[in-house]
Amino acid sequence: MSETVKKPIKITETILRDAHQSLIATRMPTDFMLPILEKMDKVGYHSVECWGGATFDASLRFLKEDPWDRLRKIRDGFKNTQLQMLFRGQNILGYRPYADDVVEYFVQKSISNGIDIIRIFDCLNDLRNLQAAVDATNKFKAQEGRGHAQIALSYTLGDAYTLEYWVDMAKKIEEMGADSICIKDMAGLLVPYKATEMISAMKSATKLPIQLHTHYTSGVASMTYLKAVEAGVDVIDTAMSPFALGTSQPATEVMVETFKGTEYDTGFDQNLLAEIADYFRPYRDECLANGLLNPKVMGVDIKTLLYQVPGGMLSNMVSQLKEQNAEDKYYDVLKEIPAVRKDLGEPPLVTPSSQIVGTQAVFNVLMGERYKMATKETKAVLRGEYGQTVKPMSQEVIDKVIPGEERITCRFADTIPNELDKLEAEMAEWKQQDEDVLSYALFPQVATDFFKYRQAQQTSVDQTVADGKNGAYPV
């Protein structure tokens, strides 16, 4: 028998970020996480994803927690495990494009507060929108010796997204100075045998490690991981079983068991994993009982595969139609979505492009005439403000929606002057730590409300004198 070379598959654990974002609207509080970190630190994970995406927003808005404080506490708990975050390119963790000085400062503060790996993505896969964050990470790494820039490609299907496209992107990412590549399949569209093709092709085109991130939404995810691992993928993203499956990731314990005794064996201790799962399980039951976890998101959403539209986008569309008493138009809108996507240059459907395409499709159907009305965001996409799309946009639609307007071909952030000083000035009265300006930059209103709450807590303001209207919270 020939000796097989061991190549243990590496695991990124998502239970502290994507798993609870996907299943319970990102509501897991820091205090619940802390007691289990010591055990999680012993597993041998490649990394633990714990920050970014909606964690920042939900912490400030709903949990009344300082997200920076969460990061520092999690860092304290993990002595041996890398921490990972998700970063929306030039939008950072917010919903608008920021100037480069804010992007750089955010990267610097993320790493200095404990992040090791920054996963950076753009909804159009326009690599220009990722360069500032990659450069900032590399700059910090050169100075401090810590920091890893991972570029994530938003996975999607369509005429433009050939094997050559993905291979070409992998080469470009390597040239950009990133440390690794992630294929980010937010809707669970990557089916097992396609994963074989894609991972094999990309592995032969680049030396960079490749990580695969998918969701169980369409029911194929663990099979996709199996084929991807056989094809040479380096890291997969999984979630501990109490918060796995459905719209979340495949279960960590299941993938570990799957590869046991093979060349891909993780070497993880199933007893230790079982103890960790035991910790999270009662919280899952509590979330089921209080309605935070809806059993609907735990099943297979086959429409995702049929229509190649992310599940969340379909539910948004249904509620928009309901509001207009136009639920009978559901199938018309479903047909309109790929048409709008083509008009806009066939972008991947991920936040925010999924909402932009979905809302415009609803408008086009309900108005009885395509592009009779266009949203502000559709106009911005057509102007090129979100970046370059993989295919050209429809000239006919451009002429109808933004007639005579100038379109941008440069990187949009090049048109935004540095804004850190201005932001500092606006929030000076609330500043208690350097990082506060970044919370304010991302969510000006929500962060200000949080700063007021924080101050009220510190000064023990009485309920009767608290300024309820302006969002000050008494102790």
The footprint of Mn ion (CB under 5 A) covers 18
| Beta carbon nearer to Mn ion, 183 or 344 | 183
In terms of phi and psi (left: phi > 0; alpha: psi -120 to 50; beta: otherwise), the region of 462 is: beta
Tokens, residue 386: 């979100």
Based on CB atoms, which residue is closest to Mn ion, 237 or 343?
Answer: 237
Quick one: the chain helix, strand, coil %, rounded to 5? 50, 10, 40
Question: In the complex, what is the shortest distance from the CB of residue 300 to Mn ion, in angstroms, rounded to a whole number?
Answer: 17
| DSSP-H helix ranges across 179-324 | 192-205, 221-230, 252-258, 270-290, 303-307, 311-323
Question: Least CB distance from residue 186 to Mn ion, whole Å?
Answer: 5
> Strand 180-185 relative to strand 10-13: parallel, antiparallel, unpaired?
unpaired
* Min dist. Cβ of residue 249 to Mn ion (A): 8
Structure token digits, residue 330:
């559901």
Give 52 or 94: the residue with its C-beta nearer to Mn ion. 52
Comparing CB distances to Mn ion, the nearer of 20 and 411 is: 20
CB of 215 to Mn ion, least distance (A): 6
**Closest distance of CB 22 from Mn ion, Å:** 7
Give the residue nearest to Mn ion (CB): 18
Nearer to Mn ion by Cβ, of 298 and 472: the residue is 298
Beta-bridged to residue 52, according to DSSP, are 86
Instruction: Report the alpha-carbon distance of residue 205 to residue 233 in Å, rounded.
Output: 13
Residues 6+ positions from 331 with CB-CB distance below 8 Å: none
Smallest CA-to-CA distance from 107 within 122, 92, 125 is with: 92
Q: How far is the CB of 303 from Mn ion (least distance, A)?
A: 19
Q: Kindly tell me which of 18 and 301 has the beta carbon lying closer to Mn ion.
A: 18
List helix spans (H) across 54-162.
Answer: 55-58, 67-77, 100-112, 128-144
**Closer to Mn ion at the Cβ: 312 or 387?**
312
Burial call 62-89: b when 16+ CB within 10 Å, e when fewer? ebebbbbebbebbbebbeebbbbbbbbb
How near is the Cβ of 218 to Mn ion at its closest, in Å?
Answer: 13
